[in-house]
Amino acid sequence: MIDLYFAPTPNGMKIKLFLEESGIEYKIIPIDLKKGDQFKPEYLAISPNNKIPAIVDHQPSGGMEKLHVFESGAILLYLSNKIGRFMPTGFREREEALQWLFWQVGGLGPMAGQLFYFSTYADQKVPYAIDCFDKEVTRLLGVLDKHLADREFISSEYSIADMACYPWMVSYTSMGKSLDNFPHLKRWADAIGRRPAVKRAYE
């Protein structure tokens, strides 16, 4: 059983996608970010950086005591290693999936998060900030679009790299933006959106 400390944001959705795809039994523990649940000492004991997502695995392999994991990329890797799925096994293919996983957590996620914050959440609209993050997100989407031009998935099969990136497409379009200028990205995102587990995760 996995406890998922969750809010319905792209970072939270990555892990929900994985859990729905894998069939691992899990329980959602909602974290209300607006109320500040993420700063409560009992949550900080699990996720010291006061952000979602985090998980607690009550049955880690090897009969260890329950284990806490924070940071969405680390959680995806942990869960993938735990069940031996959603990561290509070939050396090059695995490296490819890892590169794009790190590209997402280090690039697309923070930049799209800032774009979402400045264009949607922030009380004060700062055109310079919106423009700056918009340009960088557009550049990053172009990079992934180009990569997807000759392949179905980010690596050789559907993997945690796809699961890490997909929720940011949902977030991007929820801002009223279109993927029409990124045809390969759009084809890939549409295909992932049709997966039954993805539909369940977003229900």
Q: Does 16 bind ligand GSH (CB under 6 A)?
A: no
At its nearest, how many Å lie between ligand GSH and the CB of residue 91? 26
Of 13, 20, 38, 162, the one binding ligand GSH by CB under 6 A: 38
Q: Does 78 bind ligand GSH (CB under 6 A)?
A: no
Q: Does 104 bind ligand GSH (CB under 6 A)?
A: no
Provide the pairing of β-strand 2-6 with 26-30: parallel
Rank residues 108 and 186 by Cβ distance to ligand GSH and give the closer one. Answer: 108
Tell me the one-letter amino acid at 117.
Y
Helix or strand (DSSP H, E) at 16? helix 10-22
Q: Does 11 bind ligand GSH (CB under 6 A)?
A: yes
* Cα dihedral 198/200/202/203 (nearest 10): 160
Provide CB contacts within 8 A for 88, sequence distance 6+: 94, 96, 97, 155, 156, 157, 159
Residue of 160, 159, 161, 162 whose CA lies nearest to 188: 162
Rank residues 78 and 191 by Cβ distance to ligand GSH and give the closer one. Answer: 78
CB 189 within 8 A of CB 179: yes
Q: Does 50 bind ligand GSH (CB under 6 A)?
A: yes
Q: Does 186 bind ligand GSH (CB under 6 A)?
A: no
CB 17 within 8 A of CB 68: no
Give the total of residues touching ligand GSH (CB under 6 A): 14
Q: Does 71 bind ligand GSH (CB under 6 A)?
A: yes
Question: Partners of 6 in the beta sheet?
Answer: 30
5: left (phi over 0), alpha (psi -120 to 50) or beta: beta
Of 52, 140, 154, 161, the one binding ligand GSH by CB under 6 A: 52
Segment contacting ligand GSH by CB under 6 A, of 70-78, 127-135, 138-146, 182-190: 70-78
Q: Does 105 bind ligand GSH (CB under 6 A)?
A: yes
Contacting positions for ligand GSH (CB under 6 A):
9, 11, 33, 38, 50-53, 71-73, 105, 109, 113
